[in-house]
């Protein structure tokens, strides 16, 4: 049986690609990248229901996390409005997919990308840049007829006539196809935090100071963050965040009316922040810390 590896996000497009290739008698392995800062849609019922093997690459853990953070610090192809290196991120994932495909004798690698859908990584010039970096071919079944033929198609491994020519940001064609295949799918989730101004600014500072590790990663997306005298501090905003912070050795526990505070060096500054963000009218105390907020 023919085998294909599909980069799977859990969203509609990757589900459609799986079904399109299954109609061409491919046995599918879905590869899911658990990214540290978003772009995830972890809906795996679809793979179980459609006899699809699922392989998860957990980028939130080392050694993959360290490799990913290194890429974020030094992207070859620039970033978007935040610190999102979309083209480099695609290359990172595609190369990991290729390594897995080679080890498992899988000849075809496919994605649910649609030309024109995303400005940073899914326009013609971006796809060309990504493909040149790879040195191997990616099949994009949803928009294949808008692109040059791949060797998968010229060799007749894939029937090009059964591929599609979708383009742009609209979803009408995908939704119509989902109805045909009787596919249910989640609504689009939140975007990548690397694209959003406030988280991106904070994460940029933490990356620069080498403060993000496998251990501290859960802290990066919660709380109010400060950097004071070489100390990274995080003030919990609610009970859930206090609970996360309480799992770390360097923290001040919450108390009645006082939030938990994480500190990686200076506990005296943590005490001052805990007092400033305790219940009550503490605006004057909080204002003293504004310039240190990241």
How do strand 108-110 and strand 53-58 relate by DSSP bridges? unpaired
pTM: 0.89
Distance of alpha carbon 90 from alpha carbon 213, whole angstroms: 22
What is the per-residue pLDDT across 146-179, written as a single tens digit (0 to 9) for each?
Answer: 999 999 999 999 999 999 999 988 889 999 999 9
CA-wise closest residue to 163 among 111, 118, 117? 111
Burial of 123 (0-12, 13-18, 19+ CB in 10 A): middle
At residue 208, does pLDDT exceed 70? yes
The enclosing H or E element of 205 equals helix 197-208
DSSP 213-280: -TTTGGGGGSSEEEEETTEEEEE-SSHHHHHHHTTSSSEEPPBTTB--EEESS-HHHHHHHHHHTSSS
Distance of alpha carbon 241 from alpha carbon 244, whole angstroms: 5
Residue 270 is predicted with a pLDDT of: 97
Query: 112-116, 140-144, 191-195: which has the minimum mean pLDDT?
Result: 191-195
Query: Residue 32, Cα to own-chain centre: how many angstroms?
Result: 10
Q: Where in the chain is the domain with CATH 3.40.50.620?
A: 2-181
Average the pLDDT over 67-73 and give the result.
Answer: 96
Confidence of residue 41 (pLDDT cuts 50, 70, 90): low
> Between the CA of residue 122 and those of 41, 112, 153, 158, what are the distances in Å?
19, 11, 21, 22
Query: Rounded mean pLDDT of the chain?
Result: 93
According to CATH, the superfamily of the domain at 2-181 is: HUPs (3.40.50.620)
Residue 189 is predicted with a pLDDT of: 62
Distance of alpha carbon 253 from alpha carbon 250, whole angstroms: 10
Residue 42 is predicted with a pLDDT of: 57
Residue 117 is predicted with a pLDDT of: 81
Using the Cα atoms of residue 178, residue 89, residue 245 and residue 282 in order, give the sign of their dihedral: negative
Average the pLDDT over 175-199 and give the result.
Answer: 86
At residue 36, does pLDDT exceed 70? yes
């Amino acid at each position: 049986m023919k085998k294909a590896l599909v980069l799977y996000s859990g969203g509609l497009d990757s589900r459609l690609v799986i079904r399109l290739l299954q109609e061409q008698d491919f046995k599918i392995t879905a590869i899911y990248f658990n990214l540290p800062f978003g772009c995830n849609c972890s809906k795996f019922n679809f793979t179980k229901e459609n006899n699809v093997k699922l392989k998860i690459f957990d980028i939130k853990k080392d050694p993959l996390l360290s490799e990913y953070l290194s890429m974020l610090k030094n992207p070859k192809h620039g970033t978007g409005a935040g610190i999102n290196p979309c083209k480099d991120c695609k290359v990172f994932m595609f190369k990991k997919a290729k390594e897995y495909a080679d080890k498992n004798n899988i000849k075809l690698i496919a994605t649910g990308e649609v030309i024109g859908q995303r400005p940073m990584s899914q326009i013609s010039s971006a796809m060309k840049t990504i493909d040149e970096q790879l040195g191997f071919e990616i099949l994009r079944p949803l928009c294949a007829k808008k692109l040059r033929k791949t060797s998968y198609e010229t060799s007749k491994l894939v029937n090009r006539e059964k591929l599609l020519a979708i383009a742009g940001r609209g979803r009408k064609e995908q939704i119509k196809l989902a109805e045909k295949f009787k596919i249910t799918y989640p609504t689009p989730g939140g975007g990548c935090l690397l694209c959003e101004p406030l988280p991106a600014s904070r994460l940029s500072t933490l990356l620069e100071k080498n403060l993000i590790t496998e251990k501290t990663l859960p802290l990066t997306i919660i709380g109010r963050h400060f950097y004071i005298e070489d100390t990274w501090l995080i003030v919990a905003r609610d009970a859930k965040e206090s609970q996360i912070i309480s799992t770390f050795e360097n923290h001040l526990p919450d108390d009645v009316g006082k939030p938990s505070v994480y500190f990686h060096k200076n506990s005296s500054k943590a005490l001052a922040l805990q007092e400033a963000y305790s219940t009550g009218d503490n605006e004057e105390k909080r204002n003293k810390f504004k310039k240190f907020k990241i």
